[in-house]
Each structure stands twice: as C-alpha cells, then as structure tokens.
Structure 1
C-alpha cells in the first residue's frame, strides 16, 4: 500500500517535470557561472567547435574584452593565459575576459577559401565567429554583445582594429599591441605573405585574394580609419630595444628577443604610419611608443597593464 508521503513525492516530481517541459521555469536551465570564476567553453561554429577560455566579470557585469592571440596561436590555449598575468590584472574588475583558442595565421577574418599550400581542411570564419556565433553563445551567460572591447598583439592587433572598424556596434574599445595597422603600407604585403608561409604554410591569397586587391584593402585598418572614429583606441609598439620585461636569462630567451627586435621595428614603423593617417583625419587615440620593448609577451604584458584603465573606462565607465 502506498503511503500518503509516497503519493505526495510522486505528485511533486510529476509537477516539476511538467513545468520544465512547458518551459515554465526556463531560467533554471540557463548556464550559471560564479562571478569572477573561470570556464573553458566549447562553442559551436561554422568551423566546428571552438575552445574559448573565459574569466567572468568579478561582480557579474555584462561587458567583455575579447583578447586575441598572435600569429602562432595554438589549439590548446590562448597564449595570453600561458605567457602573461592578464587574468590576475583583471581579476577584481567587473569585466569578462574572453580568450578564443586557435586561429593560427588567420588574422581573425573570414577567408575566401582554405589554404591550398598546407592542405587546410576548413575555411577560416573567424570574423563570423567573433561577431555572431560567440556573442550569441555568451549572451546565454548575460554577456552583452554591444559593449565589448577587443585587443591583441601582432596579428591580433591588426585584427582587433579591423573588427572594431567593421563592427562598431559591438566594439567600443580596440587595442593593437605591436600590430600592423597599415597592411597596405610599404613592404607589408610581402611581410604578411612571408610570415604566413613561415608559420604554417598558409597561402595569403586564400585569405583576401591578391595582396592590395579590393578585399585586402577592405580589411586594412588604415583604409578603414574613418570607421574607427568614436571608438576608444590604444595603439602601441616598442622600439625593438630589449627592456626589463624581455627575457635574456636563457639561450631561448635571447633568440626570441633577437627575432623580436626585427619584428618590432616593422610594427613600430607600421604603427607610426597608422598614427599619421589617423591624425590627418582628426581621429583620437592613445599612442604608446615606449623606448624599449621587443615582439614578445613580456612587452605585451606591460602594455596591457597600461591600457587597462582605458579599457575599464570605455567598457564599464570605471
């Protein structure tokens, strides 16, 4: 014989199931993330699942900073989380840090086709991912798609400015750290082509077609300068002279600094040309050209710390 207690328990369980099926308490099924916590997400995309590392806003704020990787982006972690203390820098701030994983030599853009040289199997669709698929996914967690920032070093710096120019409704802040914001400038198409081949055998024409062609110029921050008016901008490049943050304590560190010397000189010259372009149009930005710094993570860790107050001001007002 069933007891009254058993009947009540079964009745209550049936009622809960019925309510859930009807969507009566849909909020119970929404993702729950502790304020200030850390997650690793697998986000669906047209490229397949993309890993995204996330440090959630300390107090549940809705603003987000998309932190892009450099040319050597790997598929296991975003190098910012491995090479720098960026998460500690923003740990007490009410801003979510979003670290997309992957995108080697992609310039975080939508490619025309896969690269033939290295038998690439999937066509890069990073712009679609960062401006549609990922924001839609993060909205489930309460992250806004209209008050974001984007920043990156090297390749990621150029991409950050391009994304902000093409999607001003999403990005209120953009930062380029040792980036190449004048992609059509003297020697830049050749430099990009050489770098993409060296990193992974990527064919530059598969990205935007022939260098200096119409699609290439449609993704050049210097060509898109007018579309950056009103965006909070931070543009930095070191001098190529090693600073206190650059590693000279090992053979690998010395080799990295020597390589970073040449790359940083290119970034410096390219960023200075971009500064001239912006100033000729009367467009404001924070220009940061320190006396030291090579094309390495120690430099970029220092620069992100300098940019942090501006990022918080642009995205949270604080």
Structure 2
C-alpha cells in the first residue's frame, strides 16, 4: 500500500508546482493590497515606533526578577509590581553585606507583604556590597575588583530609564535603606529631588565625617568583601563630603523624611542561643549604638537648620533585620502619602 503523500505519487511534482504558483500569486496580491491601503491617506495612520523597553506585561501585584543593563554590567533587580498598575515606586536599599543573589529585604523581612495591597512598585536592586550606593573614583584596590562601582548612576539614570518602559515613574519615587543604605538613601534623595519625593534611613550612619567614623567604615568595608574605602573617595575630599548627610543636610529641606535608630538595648527580636549568636548580638548592639550617636548628631544639625523630619528613636533595638522590618512598617504611611498612593 502506498503511503499517502509519498514521493512515489505519480503527479506529486505537478501538484507542488501548482501549489507554489498559487502561493506566489497570493503573496503578490497581498503586497499589492497592502500598498494600496498605505497609499490612502487617513487609513494607514502614523507609523508606530518600536518600544525601547519591554512593555509592562506582568500581572498587577506580581513579583519579577529583571536583568538591567548598566555601566557595571547586567544588574539583577527584584521587583514587586504595584497592586493596581500604579506608577509610583519605592527603592529598597540593602546593607553593607549586600549579596549578589537576592536583596535581603525580600527574605529577611516581610516587606513584600507590607506593600502587597498598595498601588506602589517595590524596586530592590541586588548587589553593591560595601558600595554605599555611590559612584566610586576607581575599582577597589584591595580585592581585585575589575570594574568601578557606579551605583548612583545606576539608581538615578540607568534603572529609572529601564523601568520607565514598564510604566514606573521617574519622578514619583521614594527610597529607603538600612545601615549603609540609610545614609545612601538620604544622599540619593538630596541630589535627585526630581526623582525622589521621600527618603527613609533606618539605623543609618548620618555623620560619617565625625572623628573616627572613616576608620570605622574602613574596617567594616575590609570585613565585608575586602573593599577599600580610599577607592570609594579620598579622605575628606569633595566626593567624601558629598556622601555625608551631616554635610548635605541643607539640601534635604522640604523633603519628607523618616529617620530611625535605636539605643542598642536588647529587644523582642534578640534571642541569641549560641556562642556565635551572642557574639553577633553584641556586635549588633555596638553598631546600633554608633548609629544612634550619628543620628542624634544629624538631628541636632537638622534642628539647627530648621529642617523637619519624622524621627523614630526607640530605646530597644539592635542592628538587625527584625527592627528594620518594624521601622519600614512605621514609615509606610509617610511613604504612601508622599507619593500620593491611596
């Protein structure tokens, strides 16, 4: 029995010729018709420009991981889209030991749940260990870094331009961070008022030019990735002073702010149950006490300038994620109000 459609079919060659001929004639007719339509004014309409970024296709309120081009190479950014497709955004900055796989706000806290029903997009960049989210003068000279950190450029130019293609505003954002990210959040907002309408600092170091602070930061950065503070900025250079909230405080006038730190007293989130746990907790006590000293100094400076802010300075609390989660929840109403999110 002959197989249907086999090449042994006696007239298969002529059938293929007829089919090809019909296909060519149909294709020519389609081209002629298309040309005729395009020639008719009012029917063709203006040419559609191809988007430079993907349109926002993620379900409203969904979570997505993006790879965003930058001068540092592709940067992973974790995003929770606004519940109802709104264009406001909150940038959440990590701490000194920022990891290369996840932004710690996504797994150390319930930040995603806190804003799950709000019409605001959470933007959580991944990486930037010891960077202070600023533009460095050179690659770190103590750990073989192959590129120069350009985090301010990324967060205020490259990333907003990319997210704009997803419907995220470049002019209605807030920024919040803890520890290293706290002082960075204030710096980004101070120098980019067109982008950020609110800034929050949780346990930030807000007087980094105070006696001993640069060397304390040097030790911390060497411990967190062997980064060299001198590669970031020379001592008390314009670039260093530009990073210091105590110095740029006048530029925060009329910007809604939420500033928090604790006194380093053990609280409800401290439960050390091993020698290493006790060591880490004592370290968190010391770091938080230093943050509070910085914050009180910054607050005095702001009061002297007549610049207001929302301060939350509880006694209990250490330099750890449970308390930063609580402070984010406390700042949430201010953030939503500043961005006009209902």
Question: Does the Cα contact within 8 Å between 2:55 and 2:167 map onto a contact in 1?
Answer: no
- Cα displacement (A) at 1:26: 4.4
- Cα displacement (A) at 1:25: 7.4
For 1:61 and 1:242, how far apart are their aligned partners in 2?
Answer: 39
- Cα displacement (A) at 1:29: 6.0
**Residue deviations 1:199-232, cap 9 Å, x none?**
121111110112x222211121111111111111
**Where do residues 1-318 of structure 1 align in structure 2 (5 Å cutoff)?**
11=30, 24=48, 26=50, 30-210=55-235, 212-318=236-342
Question: Does the Cα contact within 8 Å between 1:175 and 1:233 map onto a contact in 2?
Answer: yes
Question: Does the Cα contact within 8 Å between 1:110 and 1:128 map onto a contact in 2?
Answer: yes
Give 1 or 2 for the bigger CA radius of gyration.
2
Which 5+ residue runs of structure 2 have no aligned equivalent? Answer: 1-17, 39-45
**Residue deviations 1:114-163, cap 9 Å, x none?**
11111111100000000000000000001001111111100000100011
Give 4+ residue runs of structure 1 displaced > 4 Å after superposition: 1-4, 25-29, 249-252
For 1:56 and 1:213, how far apart are their aligned partners in 2?
Answer: 39
Q: Which moved more, 1:269-278 or 1:31-40?
A: 31-40
Residues matched between the structures, number: 310
- Cα displacement (A) at 1:32: 1.3
Q: 1:78 to 1:294 in 2, by over 3 A?
A: same
- 2:15 is matched with none
Question: Does the Cα contact within 8 Å between 2:263 and 2:289 map onto a contact in 1?
Answer: yes
**Residue deviations 1:238-284, cap 9 Å, x none?**
11112112343555443322110000000000001000000110111
TM-score (norm. length: structure 1) = 0.91
RMSD, aligned α-carbons:
2.4
For 1:91 and 1:249, how far apart are their aligned partners in 2?
Answer: 33
- 2:10 is matched with none
**Residue deviations 1:11-45, cap 9 Å, x none?**
59x97xxx9xx963747963412110111000000
For 1:146 and 1:250, how far apart are their aligned partners in 2?
Answer: 47
- Cα displacement (A) at 1:183: 1.1
Question: Does the Cα contact within 8 Å between 1:94 and 1:316 map onto a contact in 2?
Answer: no
For 1:241 and 1:50, how far apart are their aligned partners in 2?
Answer: 37
Question: Does the Cα contact within 8 Å between 2:54 and 2:166 map onto a contact in 1?
Answer: no
TM-score (norm. length: structure 2) = 0.85
